[in-house]
Amino acid sequence: MKLLLFFFGLSISEGRVFPPSFKFCAATAAYQIEGAAREEGRSPSIWDVFSHIPGKTDGGQNGDNAVDHYHLFKDDIDLMKQLNFDVFRFSLSPSRILPTPDYKVNEEGIFHYRRVLEYLKFQGIKPLVTLFHWDLPQYMDELYGGLLNATALKEFFSKYAEAAFDGLGDLVDSWSTFNEPYTSCMQGYQYGSMAPGRNIHPESEPYDCIHAVLVSHGAVAKIFKEKFPKGTSNKTISIAVNCDWQEPYTDSEEDKNASIRGLDYYLHVFMDPIYFGKYPDGMVERSQGHLKPLTPEEVELINGSVDVFALNSYTSNYVYNDPNLTLGESYDNDGLLGKTFTSINGTSIGNVTEPSWLYNVPWGIGKLIRHINQRYNPGEILVTENGLCVTGEPNWVGDEVLKDQGRIDFYKGYLNAILDAVEEGVPVSTFCAWSMFDNYEWARGYTQRFGITYVNYTTQERFFKDSALWFGRLINRTEGV
């Protein structure tokens, strides 16, 4: 494995520097980087199955090998150490830990992750461990309906979390339960564009998924708090929700209300039950019976079930009231929302990057984190994902693959917006760059590169892009934003 060494320099250049307490984090996910899909007891996940179905992913590409982090984790952690990242956010593969439907713990899986965590400790990097980043064991989908069956999902995640906490809890202070449940529920069960690829009942299954995730999250948080009680532990638990800022299309009351509904259907539907013990006003009624109010037992389980607010955010869009949509046809329709990236004056909300959905809108994340702070008063906010694929980057050749100034400019804009909020007192403590490595980008396969580290997928060599070197200087406070 070839590691790229470099020198940071000593003088501080122009730019705003983050406070010393602010943490910088490199983010990844198991299926996107690990590979070793059939090694040491791991069973198939829904992504193993989905990605092998012809036509489901770009070029029929899959994560069987990914970037081989499973075998190269020490080299990869060494790279993070060279950049002086404070935190490594990564996920466990549930199929490595509970590979069979009898929920018997695979000790080889636990042993592997202990090795990763012990090496992180050796290098002085804190782990932020996600239990679920979309790769549900296939047997859960085949036998129990996957994320649609609240009872079965709660039992599985309770067993899985207990195995992870017992086997790894002494090495991990920061835990997260589900990553982007909105994406799992919408792309998996409304559009069918991601595993398990269902679009059979878009009017009801997204709601079933949301309910099952919240109940399972609450069950895991309960186990966590019993094992690591407050006062005896500084450990924290969260759920990493994703949201694009929903900017009103016009100043009309209808569009301002549409903006709130946009946040309801994206963000509040997960976090209002956790902070307030109920779904956002109007959602149950508009769902035409598909979203049931939480029972008192569910409220007790879910309410107060996070210690910190974990947010993934990449972009923003305009929203407007659309009364022409029919309630009861789909989750999206029930919000009565129209969405666009073009303002009423015909200007774009920001420059578009390689994915058509990702516009560069730094002010949007500023508005979003202020909204979260005002609505929930969370005490601490972690930005657990943010990043981009630079336009044209997958097709670059030669030395230009490392010259990603566009990515640096993107990060500067978003981090300046976050620093503005921090200086106003918004309690953002951590920023995670997505991603530490070029990797398997789900249904897009290897056609998009989000990494600050270039990966040659043939040789598995890693090379720092300019954005990685810039992060190194930023983390060392020898350069600002």
pLDDT in tens, 279-316: 999 999 999 999 999 999 999 999 999 999 999 999 99
Distance CA 453, CA 350 (A): 25
pLDDT at 461 over 90: yes
**Structural domain boundaries of the chain?**
23-475
pLDDT band at 8 (very low <50, low <70, confident <90, very high): very low
| Planar angle of CA 249, 254, 255, nearest 5 degrees | 15
DSSP 236-265: EEEEEEE--EEEESSSSHHHHHHHHHHHII
Place of tokens 């009017």: 203
**Spatial separation of the C-alpha atoms in residues 161 and 49, rounded to whole Å:** 23
180 given a catalytic annotation: yes
Is 385 labeled as catalytic in the residue annotation? yes
pTM above 0.75, yes or no: yes
* Cα distances (angstroms) measured from residue 161 to each of 27, 43, 157: 21, 17, 6
**Cα distance between residue 200 and residue 191, in whole Å:** 9
**Integer Cα distance of 467 and 386 in angstroms:** 13
Residue 43's contacts (CB-CB under 8 Å, 6 or more residues apart) are 95, 99, 100, 137, 138, 139
* pLDDT tens digit sequence for 225-255: 999 998 888 999 999 999 999 999 999 999 9
Strand 126-132 to 174-179 pairing: parallel
Closest listed residue to residue 162, CA positions, set 89, 111, 219: 219
pLDDT over 80 at 4, yes or no: no
pLDDT at residue 3 greater than cutoff 70: no
Q: Render pLDDT for 107-118 as a digit per residue (tens, 0 to 9).
A: 999 999 999 999
For the 23-475 domain, the top CATH level (class) is alpha beta
H or E element at residue 235:
none
The DSSP bridge pattern shows strands 428-434 and 381-385 to be parallel
Structure tokens at 141: 């989908």
Q: How far is CA 308 from the centre of its chain?
A: 15
329 to 124, 284, 292, 293, 338: CA distances (angstroms): 51, 14, 17, 20, 15
Mean pLDDT computed over 455-463: 98
**Given a cut of 60, is residue 13 above it in pLDDT?**
no
- Give pLDDT tens digits for 396-423: 999 999 999 999 999 999 999 999 999 9
Would you tell me how many other CB atoms lie within 10 Å of the CB of residue 339? 16
Which tokens go with 443?
Answer: 């249904």
pLDDT digits (tens, 9 = 90+) for 37-59: 999 999 999 999 999 999 999 99
Gap between the Cα atoms of 13 and 408, Å rounded: 15
Given a cut of 70, whether residue 11 has pLDDT beyond it is no
Q: What pLDDT is stored for residue 354 in this prediction?
A: 83
**DSSP string covering 81-103, please?**
HHHT-SEEEEE--HHHHS-STT-
Nearest 5°: the CA angle 107, 113, 119 is 135
* pLDDT of 9 strictly over 60: no
What is the chain's Cα-based Rg? 21
**What is the DSSP code string of 358-381?**
-EE-HHHHHHHHHHHHHHH--S-E
Catalytic residue among 385, 393, 441, 479: 385
Strands 236-242 and 174-179: parallel
Mean pLDDT value across the chain: 96
355 near 372, Cβ under 8 Å?
A: no
Q: Is 5 exposed, middle or buried (0-12, 13-18, 19+ CB in 10 A)?
A: exposed
Q: What percent of the chain has pLDDT over 90?
A: 95
pLDDT above 60 for 129: yes
